Structure 1
């Protein structure tokens, strides 16, 4: 299992409509002294193989909005089982953006998230399979994502905090023996990074973010996330999964203030 840094430890010690590259070769991982320092804390002494044949990553070479940079993961090798993935943004104040765990009903991984990028940085994904750890990533030009101004109406953001919405897509139900569907989950939460200023007082807003989330399909776990300040405001996750026939998706989340959120969302094709 991947070494999971707690978000608290990371913060204590270290603290966008996209323009896609026309070819992923335009933004490969670059050499990084920061990663050389981080590597042992993230994976210990584990060997890291190239994930180029396992997993593709789409990310904008130059992001329009550093506070909402889309990252799309697509599994290339359908014989592998990706059970976990750690997302690292080398030069963010808290480099480990999130650690994901994937249940068997996720099938061949197809997953999208939005992250903050604070300065030009590698974004790397370390995938765990039955054969070990594999790493790939992209170099993204963006700046100021972690300190970008928070929502204009903090009171409204807090009042609606924890509200969730599901958008469900048809997927490949007809073509496949096991129906394959696609969903998008949106969660209202300011996900304050601790680096943003109140626009009136100019004081820093304390960090306050979703630190754990679970998505269930009936009684079957689809995925978990242990996240930090690099996940964008009002997090959005889009993913494909194998439909097991359950009538609902259940989303559970907690944040760093001890709030607990749980929503049962009926499946319905609306996209």
Structure 2
């Protein structure tokens, strides 16, 4: 993970925690711009830069209004902007205002991403606004916001037995949906077996908090060229799961994922593709 970005994420989380008791009411459903947590996050990430609310023709954020399981909340960010020579989505910030670590993820894209869409699963600690902020290659910032009703996701116990989780730690699977065709964006999925412990969940037997242990960086490449990178934090659910796009080449190539966690353990998986010829 970019160490500077990691330090920024930690600093923001600590500042929010320190001021939580003295803060005014956190998020209010109908007042997304008045959230005191968001105002601090906005200042830390973007200073005084203008952020434009995005229409659905540019950027959408899909989440359930009320989550069935606050520890595993599906989220999809979809863009309607081409990843080409014209201004494209360079970064995508995923912010959960009222989470203990609100900057859940920062995704970095390239023109080779084909489409700057992401699907994953997150933890929600209390009723909150969730935001997707797209930074364009020309410097513009576009934002989509959703209000989500959920609580307790960051301190929820793991869904998998700890010993079983350790036995499968770092196992990964890459898959591609459909038949890849050269030059056309194709949807892929990365599944990582990892407890992604938040550090806020208590072991019910020992009554001690389980130490934080989470995936902090994912790099995905195709045919040796970067497609997507992600700086992640504890707001990402257990067993991180990413759905993303890339553009196959006629000659084929290797789709490769490299993962690093906060203990500097490294894991790797790859899938060799030979796209079908023709359109």
Shift of 1:172: 7.4
Pair 1:113-2:120 in alignment: yes
Pair 1:248-2:263 in alignment: no
Select 1:13's aligned residue among 15, 26, 35.
15
Q: How many Å separate the matches in 1 of 2:51 and 2:243?
A: 27
Match in the other structure for 1:211: 216
Q: How many Å separate the matches in 2 of 1:28 and 1:80?
A: 32
Shift of 1:28: 7.9
Match in the other structure for 2:226: 221
Pair 1:99-2:101 in alignment: no
Pair 1:39-2:42 in alignment: yes
Question: Can you list the C-alpha shifts for 1:200-232, whole angstroms capped at 9, x where unaligned?
Answer: 112101111111110111211111011110011
Match in the other structure for 1:71: 75
Cα 1:266/1:208, change in 2 over 3 Å: same
For the Cα contact (< 8 Å) 2:54–2:142, is it kept in 1?
A: yes
Match in the other structure for 2:150: 142
Match in the other structure for 2:135: 128
- SS state at 2:174 partner: strand
Q: What is the alpha-carbon root mean square deviation over aligned residues? A: 2.2
Bigger drift between 78-87 and 222-231 goes to 78-87
TM norm structure 1 = 0.86
Match in the other structure for 2:162: 154
For the Cα contact (< 8 Å) 1:192–1:206, is it kept in 2?
A: yes
Select 1:195's aligned residue among 176, 200, 210.
200
Question: Can you list the C-alpha shifts for 1:126-152, whole angstroms capped at 9, x where unaligned?
Answer: 111133111112111111110111134
Which 5+ residue runs of structure 1 have no aligned equivalent?
Answer: 16-26
Counting only pairs closer than 5 Å after superposition, residues 158-169 of structure 1 correspond to structure 2 as 158-169=166-177
Bigger drift between 68-77 and 208-217 goes to 68-77
Shift of 1:40: 0.5
Q: How many Å separate the matches in 2 of 1:82 and 1:28?
A: 28
Q: How many Å separate the matches in 1 of 2:118 and 2:40?
A: 28
- SS state at 1:248 partner: strand
Which 5+ residue runs of structure 2 have no aligned equivalent?
Answer: 18-28
For the Cα contact (< 8 Å) 2:124–2:153, is it kept in 1?
A: yes
Cα 1:201/1:169, change in 2 over 3 Å: same
- SS state at 1:122 partner: strand
For the Cα contact (< 8 Å) 2:130–2:147, is it kept in 1?
A: yes
Shift of 1:5: 5.7
TM norm structure 2 = 0.83
